[in-house]
Amino acid sequence: MGLLGILESVLAGLHLMAVGVASVGPLVCLWLEWREHRFADDAAGEAGRRLARLTLDMIWIGSLLGLAALGLLWLNGAGEYFQAFSIIPPRRLMFGLGELAFYAACMFAYLRWWKELPR
Protein backbone atom coordinates (compact mmCIF):
# COMPACT_ATOMS: atom_id res chain seq x y z
CA MET A 1 0.00 0.00 0.00
CA GLY A 2 1.53 3.26 -1.13
CA LEU A 3 1.22 6.72 0.31
CA LEU A 4 -1.94 7.44 -1.72
CA GLY A 5 -3.52 4.26 -0.39
CA ILE A 6 -2.77 5.25 3.20
CA LEU A 7 -4.13 8.74 2.61
CA GLU A 8 -7.27 7.24 1.01
CA SER A 9 -7.81 5.08 4.09
CA VAL A 10 -7.34 7.99 6.49
CA LEU A 11 -9.70 10.23 4.51
CA ALA A 12 -12.30 7.48 4.23
CA GLY A 13 -12.12 6.85 7.98
CA LEU A 14 -12.49 10.55 8.80
CA HIS A 15 -15.36 10.76 6.30
CA LEU A 16 -17.18 7.89 8.01
CA MET A 17 -16.70 9.43 11.45
CA ALA A 18 -18.01 12.81 10.28
CA VAL A 19 -21.10 11.42 8.57
CA GLY A 20 -21.68 9.16 11.58
CA VAL A 21 -21.91 12.21 13.84
CA ALA A 22 -24.13 13.91 11.26
CA SER A 23 -26.50 10.96 11.06
CA VAL A 24 -26.87 10.26 14.79
CA GLY A 25 -26.65 13.87 15.95
CA PRO A 26 -30.28 14.83 15.25
CA LEU A 27 -31.58 11.92 17.35
CA VAL A 28 -29.39 12.92 20.28
CA CYS A 29 -30.54 16.54 19.81
CA LEU A 30 -34.16 15.43 20.19
CA TRP A 31 -33.31 13.53 23.36
CA LEU A 32 -31.47 16.56 24.77
CA GLU A 33 -34.39 18.82 23.87
CA TRP A 34 -36.79 16.45 25.63
CA ARG A 35 -34.50 16.40 28.65
CA GLU A 36 -34.31 20.21 28.67
CA HIS A 37 -38.09 20.55 28.79
CA ARG A 38 -38.94 17.54 30.95
CA PHE A 39 -36.42 18.26 33.70
CA ALA A 40 -35.77 22.01 33.15
CA ASP A 41 -32.20 21.05 32.30
CA ASP A 42 -30.69 24.12 30.64
CA ALA A 43 -27.34 22.38 30.25
CA ALA A 44 -28.98 19.68 28.13
CA GLY A 45 -30.54 22.36 25.94
CA GLU A 46 -27.24 24.12 25.46
CA ALA A 47 -25.51 20.80 24.68
CA GLY A 48 -28.27 20.00 22.16
CA ARG A 49 -27.86 23.32 20.37
CA ARG A 50 -24.09 22.87 20.22
CA LEU A 51 -24.54 19.35 18.91
CA ALA A 52 -27.00 20.60 16.27
CA ARG A 53 -24.42 23.13 15.05
CA LEU A 54 -21.72 20.45 15.11
CA THR A 55 -24.00 18.11 13.18
CA LEU A 56 -24.42 20.70 10.43
CA ASP A 57 -20.67 21.20 10.28
CA MET A 58 -20.03 17.46 10.16
CA ILE A 59 -22.32 16.82 7.18
CA TRP A 60 -20.38 19.35 5.08
CA ILE A 61 -16.97 18.27 6.38
CA GLY A 62 -17.90 14.63 5.80
CA SER A 63 -19.04 15.41 2.26
CA LEU A 64 -15.80 17.21 1.47
CA LEU A 65 -13.73 14.39 2.95
CA GLY A 66 -15.68 11.88 0.88
CA LEU A 67 -15.05 13.89 -2.28
CA ALA A 68 -11.36 14.11 -1.40
CA ALA A 69 -11.24 10.33 -0.90
CA LEU A 70 -12.91 9.87 -4.30
CA GLY A 71 -10.33 12.19 -5.85
CA LEU A 72 -7.53 10.10 -4.39
CA LEU A 73 -9.15 6.95 -5.76
CA TRP A 74 -9.20 8.57 -9.18
CA LEU A 75 -5.55 9.62 -8.87
CA ASN A 76 -4.63 6.11 -7.76
CA GLY A 77 -6.14 4.70 -10.96
CA ALA A 78 -9.09 2.82 -9.47
CA GLY A 79 -10.93 2.69 -12.81
CA GLU A 80 -13.04 -0.32 -11.87
CA TYR A 81 -14.51 1.63 -8.95
CA PHE A 82 -15.64 4.43 -11.24
CA GLN A 83 -16.97 1.94 -13.80
CA ALA A 84 -19.19 0.48 -11.08
CA PHE A 85 -20.12 4.01 -9.96
CA SER A 86 -21.18 4.92 -13.50
CA ILE A 87 -23.95 2.29 -13.36
CA ILE A 88 -25.89 4.44 -10.88
CA PRO A 89 -28.52 6.49 -12.75
CA PRO A 90 -27.85 10.26 -12.70
CA ARG A 91 -31.30 10.99 -11.27
CA ARG A 92 -30.46 8.83 -8.25
CA LEU A 93 -27.30 10.87 -7.69
CA MET A 94 -29.36 14.06 -7.95
CA PHE A 95 -31.78 12.62 -5.38
CA GLY A 96 -28.79 12.20 -3.04
CA LEU A 97 -27.88 15.88 -3.45
CA GLY A 98 -31.49 16.83 -2.78
CA GLU A 99 -31.44 14.70 0.35
CA LEU A 100 -28.34 16.54 1.57
CA ALA A 101 -30.01 19.90 0.96
CA PHE A 102 -33.20 18.75 2.75
CA TYR A 103 -31.14 17.52 5.72
CA ALA A 104 -29.35 20.88 5.97
CA ALA A 105 -32.61 22.84 5.67
CA CYS A 106 -34.24 20.78 8.42
CA MET A 107 -31.26 21.18 10.74
CA PHE A 108 -31.05 24.94 10.07
CA ALA A 109 -34.77 25.27 10.85
CA TYR A 110 -34.43 23.14 13.96
CA LEU A 111 -31.58 25.30 15.23
CA ARG A 112 -33.34 28.53 14.36
CA TRP A 113 -36.63 27.66 16.06
CA TRP A 114 -35.39 25.44 18.92
CA LYS A 115 -36.99 27.60 21.61
CA GLU A 116 -40.19 28.42 19.69
CA LEU A 117 -41.13 24.90 18.59
CA PRO A 118 -44.21 23.49 20.33
CA ARG A 119 -43.49 20.77 22.85
- Specify if 63 maps to a domain: yes
Is residue 21 a contact partner of residue 55, using CB atoms and an 8 Å limit? Answer: yes
- Specify if 118 maps to a domain: no
- Specify if 33 maps to a domain: yes
20/34 Cα distance (integer angstroms): 22
User: Could you give the number of structural domains in the chain?
Assistant: 1
Beta-carbon contacts of residue 106 (< 8 Å; ≥ 6 apart):
26
Q: Which domain holds residue 13?
A: 3-112
- Specify if 83 maps to a domain: yes
For the chain, 119 residues long, give each residue's pLDDT as a single digit of tens: 688 889 989 999 999 999 999 999 999 999 999 999 899 999 999 999 999 999 999 999 999 999 999 898 888 887 888 888 788 898 998 999 999 999 999 999 988 887 776 65
- Specify if 119 maps to a domain: no
- Specify if 54 maps to a domain: yes
